[in-house]
Structure 1
């Protein structure tokens, strides 16, 4: 008989409202994406754009009382963007700097810099060395050459894990500096420029994305973006993995609530402690695993922390077990039990309007 284990996490951290980010406004009226866009432009600035994880956290906070899907401003389109999405990293005009070789760009969605400093575009599935940008204050390295062959997306993941992001080239001075770093190697390298098939309603150049695994769908009619305002679960390797306010694409003609943004408002609010309790279920591969062992519990909790961080949870957020009244972390449910059936109904309600 399959054993399902229910566990409860307490997620807490300080949230500090920022004076330089979007001010979000949640609209509960159901509208299609185009009508929602028109409403936001008439009453605020535009449909919600998300520049980075801090923006995402603010957007989630603004819709915390709502548990379903809502429109945001991302719609299918074609434009070149930098992997590093933070607008504050670029001065005026720097996101548009290009140093294409003659006859480029052509086919191919990801950009390479040759040893001559000129750029070409090629398939993102090709494998090349790459340059990471490291903006951490505890290192003197700005550009880090990684001499491993990886696809563009794998190179991006590597740079984000160990440094800051794939390198952005903002001007000719930076282009020359990077060219010197790779010229002796004789091989082209990935840089952070890529062809993005999604565009924000306000035409901002943010490349931040928080897609649910398997999304965006390649269906021709699924051209507008919904964000989950609640936690979502995805079955991965025998576990239900928690994803933090993920996005999916859907037909633009469907009716949903939506979020607008307006001009940033100066605030002097003090940091606020936010707590969120999440209950998930897990099917262990090893049915003989001793879940009462503190080392096993710590290992599982660390894996969950890593998954949450990958999905955009702030690094200073604390994730701990919330013990049940009997002092235990895990609660076993057998197949067919009334409580298990109620939990499954609850989870289905959390996935309202869309089967993920």
Structure 2
């Protein structure tokens, strides 16, 4: 793919709220889950919500020197919902978390999802063992989809992908489904993907799909409806009766800011489909690399902002008033620099 930046980033000049950073607070008083929830809501924001691995690592840092069991805000609810293991909301555009490619007659029984060599999805018991596909979003690798040819349970596959790559693969659209199908079709075996079904809900009513269960959890025993974490389980989670008294972790929501920027681009390859999510992701990666060269912090997130009509890119017509105005500004800026 060949693209070139016609102009460098044009900063819009204002900032808008983006998302919340969770600052965690360890409370060593022993309370049951309901009382812990009330305490956190009175003194902070709520019992701890964990949105992603970055949150998980911050939570570990806040409690790593203490040998306790801690309540967090995850509790079993009354209804089930499909989620992706990769919970970072910035990874998904509107509607992409809802993409499905079920085979005929599915889903039926089973809380974890396999993709067949034909690219169709089936659900199965999470304890079954299959090969699996990891997604790798790291900037230092050219591999996006990594096929692991070992028969493992879904939970093991999730842990492996998070440790060695980014997470079990999410399939956001038909283009990605086709790419992954090509990756596995020659093997002739189904693979785990990151979709799973559960009924667990966060105390603050957020829709985070992040889970980090210990092997064999969550238990299906009745009354084991609340979630504990401890360094005894390497900070993996277990479910336990909610009336158990123990320490807990609250969180305080700190508002993050985002900077809105505009990018004008010249398209060298006129056959390039700028509406293709894969092409848009590739351009974002290229922008991220260029910004890193200019000193952008490595952990800064760069994503597209859709226009009101749902599109990311708009073709600018020659001679448009907006274009002429921007060109005049550029010329004026260049003249000012020469005068200085």
Query: TM-score, with normalisation over the residues of structure 1?
Result: 0.55
Partners of 1:69 and 1:127 in 2: CA distance? 31
Partners of 2:101 and 2:154 in 1: CA distance? 19
- Structure 1 residues 75 and 102: alpha-carbon distance in aligned structure 2, compared to 1, 3 A threshold: same
Q: What's 1:70 paired with?
A: 70
Selected match of 1:140 from 127, 142, 150 = 142
Selected match of 1:82 from 78, 81, 84 = 84
Q: What's 2:97 paired with?
A: 95
Selected match of 2:207 from 197, 201, 204 = 204
**C-alpha offsets along residues 181-237 of structure 1, whole Å, 9 cap, x if unaligned?**
3345444322111223543223433333153x6654443122112233xx53xxxxx
- Structure 1 residues 219 and 141: alpha-carbon distance in aligned structure 2, compared to 1, 3 A threshold: same
Partners of 2:163 and 2:28 in 1: CA distance? 37
Partners of 2:199 and 2:226 in 1: CA distance? 12
Partners of 2:110 and 2:128 in 1: CA distance? 10
1:107 match: secondary structure: coil
- Structure 1 residues 93 and 49: alpha-carbon distance in aligned structure 2, compared to 1, 3 A threshold: farther
- Structure 1 residues 186 and 214: alpha-carbon distance in aligned structure 2, compared to 1, 3 A threshold: closer
**C-alpha offsets along residues 229-275 of structure 1, whole Å, 9 cap, x if unaligned?**
xx53xxxxxxxxxx5445443221233343222322459xxxxxxxx
Partners of 2:90 and 2:65 in 1: CA distance? 30
1:22 match: secondary structure: strand
Q: What's 1:261 paired with?
A: 251
Partners of 2:61 and 2:185 in 1: CA distance? 47
Aligned pairs (5 A) from 1:264-283: 264-265=254-255
Partners of 2:202 and 2:225 in 1: CA distance? 12
Q: What's 2:168 paired with?
A: 166
> How far has the Cα of 1:20 moved from its partner?
5.3
Q: What's 1:46 paired with?
A: 46
Preserved CA contact (<8 Å) 1:87 1:206: no
Q: What's 2:180 paired with?
A: 178
Preserved CA contact (<8 Å) 2:137 2:166: yes
Query: Where does the alignment leave 5 or more consecutive residues of structure 2 unmatched?
Result: 1-18, 258-340
2:181 match: secondary structure: helix
Preserved CA contact (<8 Å) 2:52 2:86: no
- Structure 1 residues 141 and 248: alpha-carbon distance in aligned structure 2, compared to 1, 3 A threshold: closer
> How many equivalent residue pairs?
236
> How large is the Cα RMSD of the aligned pairs?
3.3
Query: Where does the alignment leave 5 or more consecutive residues of structure 1 unmatched?
Result: 1-18, 233-242, 268-356
> How far has the Cα of 1:92 moved from its partner?
4.2
- Structure 1 residues 38 and 171: alpha-carbon distance in aligned structure 2, compared to 1, 3 A threshold: farther
Q: What's 2:293 paired with?
A: none
1:176 match: secondary structure: helix
**C-alpha offsets along residues 48-78 of structure 1, whole Å, 9 cap, x if unaligned?**
0123343234334445786533321112244
Preserved CA contact (<8 Å) 1:21 1:264: yes
> How far has the Cα of 1:172 moved from its partner?
2.6
**C-alpha offsets along residues 130-189 of structure 1, whole Å, 9 cap, x if unaligned?**
322122222212112344444434433443454333211122321232233334544432
Preserved CA contact (<8 Å) 2:22 2:252: yes
Partners of 2:30 and 2:148 in 1: CA distance? 48
